[in-house]
Amino acid sequence: MKPNDILQQHEVKKTLSRIALIKALQTSNQPLSENEIRVRMLDQYDRITFYRNVQTLSESGILHRIVIDNTHVKYALNCCEKEHHHAIDHVHFYCKECGKTVCLDEVPVQQYPLPDGFKLDECDVVIKGYCKDCPGNHNA
């Protein structure tokens, strides 16, 4: 799907920086960090605009933020098929060796029991480990 159409469909203004941001994420088959996005956006990149667009586009359901930990944040486009696809509904995997991040779209999040009176809003699940290609697999 073209960046232009994505933006139109979600009723946010089609600006150059937003198109470039979406394109950057589309060139990758995995979530990207700000740095990785900056490299792909080249001179279309501006830090302040980036952060604002991330906020706008995540609010409108175009992309989602994946907080690996307090120093590693990734960004990924939502699957276009699913209407309301937030970081809430699926699990993320992060490789501690190569940093590769995977959206495990097919893995649903368990409904954890909460104390009485507590209300759930979202549930973030991040699995950290080692991916197939990484021998960080300390047992190997």
Per CB under 7 A, residues contacting DNA are 7, 12-18, 33-35, 46-49, 51-53, 55-56, 70-73
The amino acid present at 73, given as its one-letter code, is: V
Q: Are 108 and 89 in contact (CB under 8 A)?
A: yes
Nearer to a copy of itself, 42 or 48 (CB): 48
Shortest Å, Cβ 31 to DNA: 13
* Region from 3-11, 41-49, 50-58, 66-74 binding a copy of itself, contact rule CB under 8 A: 66-74
Q: Report the distance separating Cα 128 and Cα 86, nearest Å.
A: 20
Helix (H) / strand (E) containing 39: helix 34-41
Instruction: Count Cβ atoms below 10 Å from residue 1 Cβ, excluding itself.
Output: 10
Residue ranges that bind a copy of itself, judged by CB under 8 A: 67, 69-71, 73, 91, 93, 96, 102, 104, 107, 110, 112-132, 137, 139
